[in-house]
Amino acid sequence: MSDIKQHLTEQLQTALSPSHLQVINESHNHSGLASESHFKLIVVSDYFNDLKLIERHRFINQLFKEEMAHIHALAMHTYTPDEWQMKNGAPDSPKCAGGSKS
Amino acid sequence: MDVMDRIQQQVDSAAIVLYMKGTPQFPQCGFSAKAAQTLTSTGVKFAYVNIFEDQEVFQNLPAFADWPTFPQIYFNSELVGGGDIIVEMAEMDTLKGEMEKAAEKFTISNNKTP
């Protein structure tokens, strides 16, 4: 497992005790040389039960405040266990054209 | 004018404002493209700002609503979230309704204060 991926995984495990967690390195989909630039998170946690989507994303943004300086994109899919059961999967992230590098 | 005041003016200027990389016709990032497509698919009108055309806004928008990434979507001057949240709302079938509500609220408050 890559360093950043492992780091993200450990941080999320500690902060949210997720019942389901996927940290997916999607960097190969994207332009540029960085091999750890784009990640997708799927996090299912009881902690989200009373939080709106924006609050869940804010929590994770805050958790990875320093890491965000090095990661170009972090797609987030956050669910409560009930939502996850109803949904059965997270949507694909779009391809990034490397716009910020211009 | 201070850049934060300018951003405030932009988010106040329309019911729904999308800050994106590029334009809905020529998006320059997949995440911005997806957000623009998702908003467009509702048929509800929205405004957009191409952050590449305004470096000052590009650099200061993350601090404006304490949100580190682009795109950003505002309803009635309030940050709703980034692209993932818009897509999630579309999947839960709440996006169009929320956009219509925002548009209605915008019309009402603008008629009161011409």
Q: What is the ipTM of this complex?
A: 0.84
| Beta strands B47-50; B16-20: pairing state | parallel
Q: What is the pLDDT of residues B72-89, one digit of tens each?
A: 999 999 999 999 999 999
Q: What is the pLDDT of residues B15-70, one digit of tens each?
A: 999 999 999 999 999 999 999 999 999 999 999 999 999 999 999 999 999 999 99
- Asked whether the beta carbons of residue A75 and residue B21 sit closer than 8 angstroms, the reply is no
Q: How far apart are CA A68 and CA A72, in angstroms?
A: 7
State pTM to two decimals: 0.86
Q: Side by side, which strands form the sheet with B78-81?
A: B47-50, B16-20, B72-75, B78-81
- Tokens encoding A4: 């950043």
Instruction: Kindly state whether A77 is in contact with chain B, defined as any CB-CB distance less than 8 angstroms.
Output: yes
- Asked whether the beta carbons of residue B21 and residue A100 sit closer than 8 angstroms, the reply is yes
3-state helix, strand, coil in chain A (%, to 5): 45, 20, 35
